[in-house]
């Protein structure tokens, strides 16, 4: 799902706010500012997520689904899908 990874969707839904002028003026502090705002959306659990874009009969929908690896195949009740809070692909 190129461009539709969970961390990328979360980053698009939660853009980094503009830093104060004194942080913008210091490259090291700016890098730290950006990283601190992206840290909650690290790609650590992306293997549990899959994104789907479905279209047909005049309708389109996107779903971001979560299924933990620990969920046994016979017990898919642990898996769930919902509409993503940002488009799965940039510009969509």
**Which residue intervals of the chain are DSSP H helices?**
6-13, 21-24, 27-38
Q: Which residues contact 44 (CB under 8 A, 6 or more apart)?
A: none
pLDDT at 21: 94
Q: Which residues contact 65 (CB under 8 A, 6 or more apart)?
A: 49, 50, 51, 52, 79, 80, 81
Residue that the structure tokens 């692909």 belong to: 89
What are the pLDDT digits (tens) for 51-91? Answer: 777 888 988 888 878 777 666 665 666 777 887 777 776 65
Residue that the structure tokens 């799902």 belong to: 1
pLDDT at 44 over 70: no
The residue extents of the domains of the chain are: 6-82
Q: Report the predicted TM-score, pTM, of the whole model to 2 decimal places.
A: 0.49
What are the pLDDT digits (tens) for 7-28? Answer: 777 777 777 788 999 999 999 9
């Amino acid at each position: 799902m190129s461009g539709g990874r969970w961390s990328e969707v979360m980053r698009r839904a939660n853009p980094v706010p503009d830093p104060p002028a004194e942080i913008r003026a210091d490259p090291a502090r700016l890098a730290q500012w950006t990283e601190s705002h992206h840290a909650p959306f690290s790609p650590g659990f992306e293997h549990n997520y899959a994104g789907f874009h479905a279209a047909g009969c005049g309708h389109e929908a996107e779903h971001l689904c979560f299924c933990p690896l620990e969920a046994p195949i016979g017990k898919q009740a642990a898996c769930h899908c919902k509409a993503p809070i940002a488009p799965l692909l940039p510009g969509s």
